[in-house]
Amino acid sequence: MYVLFFFIMVIFLVSTVVMMVASLLSKKTIMDREKNSPYECGFDPKGSGRLPFSLRFFLIAVIFLIFDVEITLLLPLVCILYLVDIYSWTLTGLLFLLVLLFGLYYEWKEGALDWSN
């Protein structure tokens, strides 16, 4: 028991030291105007290179990611169809799909899927 606790403490200590050293070594000390400006093939930039990121696009990407992961969670249901009881398989699948459809309906109702606004 003490050996396990000792190893956990050593791992925690080593990882903390490594993170602190990496944080100290990675700091930029020189802030150069040229390095902070956007690069446009040697020409002076026409506008700001740091345009704001569209929050609407980010929300659509996150929703796509959630429903993409949903497919990876549904595929094993098809693979185990012949290995489990059909009643429990159907109940599990329908409950999972109902939760996802409820989430989709909620996103639609809140306007997160409305791309025109």
Handedness of CA 21, 24, 25, 26 (dihedral sign): positive
In a domain, 62, yes or no: yes
7 located within any domain: yes
Q: Which residues make Cβ contacts (< 8 Å) with residue 40, sequence separation at least 6?
A: 46, 49
The CATH number that applies at residue 34 is 1.20.58
**What is the C-alpha to C-alpha distance for residues 78 and 99, in angstroms, rounded to an integer?**
18
Angstrom distance (rounded) from CA 99 to CA 48 = 43
Nearest by Cα to 106 from 57, 44, 69, 63: 63
Q: Name the token pair of 54.
A: 């569209």
The 10s digit of each residue's pLDDT in 54-104 is: 777 887 888 888 878 888 888 888 888 888 888 988 898 899 889 888 988
Based on the structure, what is the number of domains in the chain? 1
pTM of the model as a whole: 0.48
